[in-house]
Homo-oligomer: A and B are copies of this chain.
Amino acid sequence: MYSLPRGVDAERELANILWNKGFAVIRGPASGAGTRRRFQPDLVIIKSGKVAVIEVKRTSELPVYIRPEQVLGLSEFAKRAGAQAFIAVRLKGRKWLFFRLDEVKTTRRGGFKVEGKGIDLNGFIVDVLGFKKLTDFM
């Protein structure tokens, strides 16, 4: 039994979680639509002018690898927006981990990856974005 969702379903799952916590959430158009003039992140979340831009990855175990154009695109988008940038990793069991873009590591072959403990969903919302605890919304 393979319990990882499809990429688009993982994005939708996280979008719904954050929307239900009161964020404005927008998902980018489907990936892989050929050459693009503009980088389109998977998710942008906003609350009261505070912006986070997110690439969503799913994996059964870390590390997870990130394409160079995603790292560069995310960085450029975040700079324009004045946003924080993250890689959100969907693991089995509906578990999410968040990594800041500046925690991304280079591989020996010059690629990019994230690994390590990361930040859990609650920590992401409360500590990173500075919003109320999840329980305050319940």
Contacts and interface: CB of A to CB of B under 8 A. Distances in A.
A40 B47 CA distance: 15
Nearest to A11: B29
A26 B28 contact: yes
Contacts of A29: 27-30
Interface stretch (A55-63, A80-88, A119-127): A80-88
A81 B24 contact: yes
Contact of A16 (B38, B46, B47, B80): B38
Q: DSSP class of A's interface residues: helix, strand, loop or mixed?
A: mixed
Interface residues of A, number: 30
B41 A77 contact: no
Interface string A6-33: 0000000001100100111111111000
Contacts of A37: 16, 19
A65 B15 CA distance: 29
A46 B81 contact: yes
Given A47-B80, A51-B51, A40 B26 contact: yes
Contacts of A53: 24
